[in-house]
Chains A and B, each alone.
Chain A
Amino acid sequence: ETGVTQTPRHLVMGMTNKKSLKCEQHLGHNAMYWYKQSAKKPLELMFVYSLEERVENNSVPSRFSPECPNSSHLFLHLHTLQPEDSALYLCASSQDGILTGGGTDTQYFGPGTRLTVL
């Protein structure tokens, strides 16, 4: 596997379900990100981890819970979601992350998980 991988690619869940999205990066990067992409809206940054420590949480509802057990893996745990949470969830990684990288720290993305909440 190379680059950034995400599983599952598609997920349909009911509002009472609990599910998790998984992201893995094979680039040796120190920072990982979760983004939400809804139709006709700009990409929204949800969470940032740098060296396994959460450094940014952009006012995301508590029904989204991130976990970063090591610098290569990132999870997004989902519970009691709403239909408006249906979107493409993208994971990204970068070499240094927000605290140290500066403007040149390029983010590399996975293929995304397309989530539908019924």
Chain B
Amino acid sequence: AQKITQTQPGMFVQEKEAVTLDCTYDTSDPSYGLFWYKQPSSGEMIFLIYQGSYDQQNATEGRYSLNFQKARKSANLVISASQLGDSAMYFCAMSYMDSNYQLIWGAGTKLIIKP
């Protein structure tokens, strides 16, 4: 069965430190996509970054980068130089071919940045 696992229910990080949020996935499909979303307390789900299964390089978007380790089936999100505004829930999600590209969602990690 296709699955996304986020093992960290919550994290506290000091402002300006780097943060790594863990995500492991399980699929036998060779073609899939991995997404990270941020959800502040306001509720909106904000798209952060995408990694395709065939992409050779790790995706980067500003302070966000995705540490993609295909053999380990992990797609960790790295936030450099964390800011107070980074406090939110973070969700990892996966699309794959056999699901008609519906997204499979992880349970999320609550990140709190301390001043």
Contact = CB atoms under 8 A, between A and B. Distances in A.
Nearest to B45: A109
Contact of B96 (A42, A55, A103, A108): A103
A16 interface: no
Interface stretch (B17-25, B31-39, B64-72, B79-87): B31-39
Contacts, number: 63
B62 interface: no
Interface string B42-85: 11111100101100000000000000000000000000000000
Nearest to B93: A43
Interface string A42-82: 11010010000001100000000000000000000000000
B43 A106 contact: no
Interface residues of A, number: 25
B105 A43 contact: yes
Interface residues of B, number: 27
A107 to B, nearest CB: 7
Given A90-B43, A104-B52, 8 more contacts: A42-B107, A48-B102, A103-B52, A103-B97, A106-B35, A106-B47, A109-B45, A111-B42
10 contacts: A42-B105, A42-B107, A43-B45, A43-B103, A56-B100, A101-B101, A102-B95, A102-B97, A106-B35, A107-B47
